[in-house]
A and B are shown apart, each in its own frame.
Chain A
Amino acid sequence: MATAVAAPAADTDRSGTRRSRRGGEPDQSGKLFNRLAATCVTLFALIWLVPFLWALITSLRPNEEIAANPTNPWGSNWNLDAYSYAWNSSPLGWWYVNSFIISSLTVVFTVVVCSMAAFALVNLNFRGKYVLFGLILAGLMVPVEALVLPQFLEFRAIGLLGTYWAVILPSVALPVALFVFHSFIKAIPVALIEAARLDGASWWRIYSQIAMPLSRPAISAVAILTFITSWNAFLWPLLVLTQTKSQTIPVGLSSLVGGSAIQYAETMASAVLGILPLLAVFLVLQRQIAQGVANTGIK
């Protein structure tokens, strides 16, 4: 997770209206250049899609055909057998459920916990605030992924190994997410909050009914990116979820790599099944995801 933070996402929502970057009327050489660029970029984009298509095509072919004709995808016997086999031979259903529960809970906790702290840092004056701010800022530089061993010992000591909580808890207090909320909440006019205070609204009410509704873009950016990161996390879930049935999609799938060398179709079917849920989310929320990445630099 990342180091760079960023700032108000509020004013970057206008990519929809942009046009191409050509300066004025392109002259002859400009046209040629653009045509060349288009060809080159399109070629690359098509190459980028090859692994997806290759996995999909392979998953639909019978193994005998793949073995006989590995790089010629045109066969007459495309079918879905590999998918039912893949679904039945490994606990994919469980992995889906686990991944879904873990990612959803992580999103909910991250959004609530980080936005509450950001709200306090922006709007409330409390003792030790600047110390807290500096501490969290320093946290941007802590490479959590490098700390799995002490983290593991810590979770063993508190007896949470093997539970969903072991996966969820360490990723909730995310400094990057806090700063995304911080920059957003700071953009809310002070007058609005002061007026609510004068009307006798409690801080909780101001947070939940003024600050949060106005921070919707920040919520969606943090939620989407947290979900992707959490869904794709590998090392930490690998360490703490040791039962086959309690594993997540990435951990479960990794056990299939280097497995049977002849069941090409089944392996590719599992890969496709592992890709599908997030790819579906991606296709629906493409623009928001790209914007979220651009605004937060979460990695």
Chain B
Amino acid sequence: MTATALPAPRTGVEVGDRAATAGRPPRSENRAGWLFATPFLALYLAFLIGPVVIGLLISLFNTTTVKAGIGSWVGFSNYADVLTNADFWASMWHSALFTLLTTPILVLLPLLFAVLVSRLARGQWFYRLAFFAPYVVPSAAVCLIFAFMYTPETGLITNAFGWFGLTAPDFFGSTSGAWFAVVLLTVWWTFGFNFILYTAAIQEISEEVYEAAALDGAGPWQQIRMITVPILRPTIGLVLILQVLSSLKVFDQIYILLTGGPNYTTRPVIQYIFDTGFSAYRGGYAAAATMVYFVVLVLVSVGWFLVRRRNNSANA
């Protein structure tokens, strides 16, 4: 059974454990339970739930990030400002656009390659090494290398366009060139993660299914289309949602490689919050932007959770 195929909601259902039979817990056990759980709970409340509450609170004040204190109450005016600000919506759109550009490639391409690699008898370690190694490289190192390869005139990728008789776009000066640069970098960098998720799921498929199919005369392409892909559907769903969520949170590569440029035309929403909160010191305003963005991300997660649960109960 593959872990990845298991939807998160399932865990909640299994909450009843071995200790759940008794009515009132004995006092010593009650105390031990809280002692074990307290370090986690304290850190969890302080640094996971805390920032949500603080963000909500600060967004109602005109806090600045230069001096301590939360400033004075301004009600919902920060939200009104954020929701009517064109720069904010532009940055939201950039994060969404990045998600639209990267998600199809990063869901389908690793699937294709995981399926193809799984059919090969040898060299599995080599493919895993080649595809997955970039995942352990820090974003800044990836950007250093790609910035060098994107250098106008002399860069390797710039020249590679010439080998095919094409002209390289201006990777740093034009918006479309910048998107191309950042998407290519991201595909190279994160491809291996999804590749590994698919590979693990494929390994769980029983050999006999393929043998039976081969006896029935199914060719390799038919086996992939009629067996592998349908069995992988839950994994494809998981990869899809993980990819959407992580693409919506893009920051590192766009910030390091392009600083959101040229002229802020690729700036993602996290950088917008970063710029307004830490360069313009408008803490309350940036907190309101944070909360709007936060709600969007949570809605995506919850939406997936609900779809998942409906599918599960429909299948059960």
Contact = CB atoms under 8 A, between A and B. Distances in A.
A, B from the same assembly: yes
Interface of A: 2-9, 11-12, 15, 18-26, 29-30, 33-34, 37-38, 40-42, 44-46, 48-52, 54-55, 58, 66-67, 70-71, 112-114, 116-117, 119-127, 129-130, 132-137, 139-154, 156-157, 169-170, 172-173, 175, 178-179, 182-183, 186, 190, 193, 203, 207, 228, 231-232, 234-235, 239, 249-254, 256-258, 261, 264, 267-268, 270-271, 274-275, 278-279, 281-283, 286, 289-291, 293-297, 299
Contact of A20 (B22, B51, B121, B241): B121
A126 B18 contact: no
B164 interface: no
Query: B-side binding surface: helix, strand, loop or mixed?
Result: helix
Interface stretch (B33-41, B76-84, B173-181): B33-41
Given A142-B48, A239-B274, 11 more contacts: A2-B242, A48-B134, A54-B156, A124-B19, A147-B51, A150-B52, A151-B54, A169-B43, A235-B252, A267-B144, A271-B145
Interface stretch (B86-94, B97-105, B196-204): B196-204
Contact of B159 (A71, A142, A143): A71
Contacts of B17: 121-123, 186
B54 A150 contact: yes
B280 interface: no
A11 B200 CA distance: 12
Nearest to A188: B18
Q: Which 9 A-B pairs have the closest CB atoms?
A: A126-B33, A23-B214, A294-B200, A6-B3, A23-B210, A117-B40, A120-B36, A70-B154, A124-B33
A154 B11 contact: no
Interface string B159-199: 10000000000000000000000000000100101001101
A25 B211 CA distance: 9
Nearest to A293: B196
Contacts of B15: 130, 133
B144 A253 contact: yes
Of listed B144, B213, B286, residue having the most chain A CB within 10 A: B144
B262 to A, nearest CB: 13
B197 A253 contact: no
Contact of A228 (B36, B136, B251): B136
B245 A275 contact: no
B138 A297 contact: no
A106 B237 CA distance: 31
B148 A4 contact: no
B207 to A, nearest CB: 7
Nearest to A71: B159
Given A24-B211, A34-B120, A296 B3 contact: yes
Interface string B207-220: 10011111100111
Contacts of A293: 193, 196-197, 200
Interface of B: 1-4, 6-8, 10-12, 14-15, 17-20, 22, 25-26, 29-34, 36-37, 39-41, 43-44, 46-52, 54-55, 58, 63, 65, 68, 113, 116-121, 123, 125-149, 151, 153-156, 159, 188, 191, 193, 196-197, 199-205, 207, 210-215, 218-221, 223, 228, 238, 241-242, 245-246, 249, 251-252, 256-257, 270, 273-274, 277-278, 283, 286-287, 290, 293-294, 297-298, 301-302, 305
B130 A48 contact: yes
Contacts of A134: 12
A244 B170 CA distance: 32
Contact of A297 (B4, B41, B65): B4
Nearest to B163: A71
Given A29-B219, A154-B50, A190-B18, A148 B274 contact: yes
A143 B297 contact: yes
8 contacts: A37-B120, A124-B29, A125-B33, A135-B49, A150-B52, A232-B139, A250-B139, A294-B196
B36 A270 contact: no
Of listed A7, A146, A153, A253, residue having the most chain B CB within 10 A: A146
B43 A173 contact: yes
Contacts of A148: 270, 273-274
